[in-house]
Amino acid sequence: MDIGISQDLSMLALVSSASLAVKFVMAVLLIASLMSWWFIFQKLFQIARATKKVQAFEQAFWNGADLNQLYQGIARDPNHTSEMERIFEAGFREFMKLKNQPGADASAMTESARRAMRASYQREMDGLESHLSFLATVGSVSVYVGLFGTVWGIMNAFRSLANVAQTTLANIAPGIAETLVATAMGLFAAIPAVIAYNHFTHDIDRLANRYESFMEEFSNILQRQAHKK
């Protein structure tokens, strides 16, 4: 027996037929997903650039480059410096400023340079960690936002069945299907954000360790130079 029921269950039809509240949830999740992908690609290029420049600077620094020449090269082109170069510049500038003052104490010079590098380090880390909190929020909240849209849609679907004399699967399926789209969109927004957040956090922690190791080793170099004054 041919029931003769034909309903459009395509994705576009399900979204367009959803209730206003569910559409709003979908729009929020779509915007969050697009912003997440924008920040993901932005962060990928930023961290790749930082890692490449750290390797180049470390190679130049530990191959015996003259510190004054290295500093002058960085100071001449401040717009194209890396995070580690700016940390080095802050520490060396502070060290040379105190070194040229008569009667400066060697320990005070080294400690002042260390504080300058630490302040620069914090600024650089803030830049590297920018937008990570957004990815963490999207990763943790999107699923629940999508679930809210699904629950709301299911409530409306069952409410609409109150005026139907005979309830069949054909009556329920479209309403349930359109609400599950919200959950799917929540997962689509959350999963990449969580993966990206964990990946970027790991990479930034590795960079932070390299910066901190450099600051300690460079502080030792400055301390030896201070005692040669």
* Residue-wise pLDDT tens digits, 171-203: 566 567 677 778 888 999 999 999 999 999 999
Total of domains in the chain = 1
Q: Give domain status of residue 111, yes or no.
A: yes
Q: What is the pLDDT of residues 36-73, one digit of tens each?
A: 999 999 999 999 999 999 998 888 888 877 888 888 88
This prediction has a pTM of 0.80
% of the chain with per-residue pLDDT over 70 = 80
pLDDT of residue 12: 60
Return the higher-pLDDT residue of 20 and 159.
20
Q: Give domain status of residue 202, yes or no.
A: yes
Q: Give domain status of residue 201, yes or no.
A: yes
What whole-number distance in Å separates Cα of residue 164 and Cα of residue 229?
93
Q: Give domain status of residue 6, yes or no.
A: no
Q: What is the pLDDT of residues 80-130, one digit of tens each?
A: 788 899 999 999 998 888 877 776 677 888 889 999 999 999 999 999 999
Burial 80-102 (b: 16+ CB within 10 A, else e): ebbbbbbbbbbbbbbbbebbeee
pLDDT of residue 151: 83
Q: How far is CA 120 from CA 16, 60, 198, in A?
A: 51, 20, 25
**DSSP element (H, E) containing 50:** helix 20-62
Range of the domain at 102: 14-227
pLDDT of residue 61: 86
